[in-house]
Amino acid sequence: MPGNDSSSAMNIVEFRDISLRLDGQREILHRINLEIHQGEALILLGRSGSGKTTLLKLINALVVPTLGEVYVEGRPTSQWDPIELRRRMGYVIQEGGLFPHFTVERNIGLVPSLEGWPPERIRARVSELLRLVGLDPELRARLPRQLSGGQRQRVGVARALAADPSLLLMDEPFGALDPITRSELQQQLLELQQRLHKTIVFVTHDLHEALRLATRIALLDAGRLAGIYTPEEFRHSKNPLVQQYVAAFAGV
């Protein structure tokens, strides 16, 4: 917030010296240090297998570091109740991750209902969210399989927003969509971030998507953080890895 140094400097997430070995064997992440600021859209960019999903799952404690600590709102994830931690953040995965046997309404209303909201408040919230993500509230009665891929993705975003979390974790949420739907959803996400001041941690391997959405881009390479850049810095970086990325997307 302008004029308030302590809150503008606040890191909603901090990775401090994070290393991760699976089964005590192969190292998946190596000494990651990264601060995610309140209100920013931080993009985790990297090739397939570079560790993006794993890094995101460290934030909601689906993965636990071998070394180091992840801090959320200043407290190590090891000291959070995992359920409470996860309810404070929205999580969107590719294909939406909706429960197939729940209606759209029940999928979106899941966390509010776990939090004990009265049914009429949930109903109103579901209608509000469906409109927010550009869907007709009448879709509330449908099952996920009765929706298109783009509609399912929008429902996934609506569900993540349901209990109004300040932090959104998004793992290649628009990956499976056609370019036009994808562009529409990117635009809606930008508006959400600007209007509702959400902090967004967004995983993608797509440079165009990263440059469009990012306040900053964290580039991952084989489990290491290769650099952190604003979109402008990324475009002009002399880092060979960055230049390789830019060259690979130049013709698209």
Ligand X SMILES: Nc1ncnc2c1ncn2[C@@H]1O[C@H](COP(=O)(O)OP(=O)(O)O)[C@@H](O)[C@H]1O
Applying CB under 6 A, the residues found at the interface with ligand X are 22, 28, 46, 48-54
Q: Which of residues 34-53 bind Mg ion (CB under 5 A)?
A: 53
Query: What does 48 interact with, of ligand X, Mg ion, none (CB < 5 to 8 A by kind)?
Result: ligand X
Query: What does 49 interact with, of Mg ion, ligand X, none (CB < 5 to 8 A by kind)?
Result: ligand X
Nearer to ligand X, 186 or 204 (CB): 204
Strand 11-21, strand 67-72: pairing: antiparallel
CB 88 within 8 A of CB 165: yes
Of residues 126, 160, 121, the one with CA closest to residue 141: 126
Q: How far is CA 159 from CA 25, 135, 249, in A?
A: 36, 13, 32
Helix axes 149-161 and 179-196, enclosed angle (nearest 10): 10
Query: What does 72 interact with, of ligand X, Mg ion, none (CB < 5 to 8 A by kind)?
Result: none
Residue 215's identity, in one-letter code, is T
Query: What does 28 interact with, of Mg ion, ligand X, none (CB < 5 to 8 A by kind)?
Result: ligand X
Nearer to Mg ion, 144 or 173 (CB): 173
Nearer to ligand X, 4 or 48 (CB): 48
- Interaction between residue 204 and Mg ion (CB under 5 A): no
Nearer to ligand X, 52 or 182 (CB): 52
Please tell me the distance from the alpha carbon of residue 156 to that of residue 224, in angstroms, as a whole number: 29
Q: How far is the CB of 27 from Mg ion (least distance, A)?
A: 17
Q: How far is the CB of 170 from ligand X (least distance, A)?
A: 12
Nearer to Mg ion, 45 or 104 (CB): 45
Query: What does 25 interact with, of ligand X, Mg ion, none (CB < 5 to 8 A by kind)?
Result: none
Question: Residues 200, 48, 231, 75: what is their CA dihedral angle, to the nearest 10 degrees?
Answer: 40
Nearer to Mg ion, 52 or 159 (CB): 52
Cα angle 219, 68, 28 (rounded to 5 degrees) comes to 50
Of residues 166, 169, 195, the one with CA closest to residue 38: 166
DSSP 138: G
Q: Mask of contacts with Mg ion, 52-81, x by CB under 5 A?
A: -x----------------------------
Torsions phi, psi for 251 (to 5 deg)? -80, -10
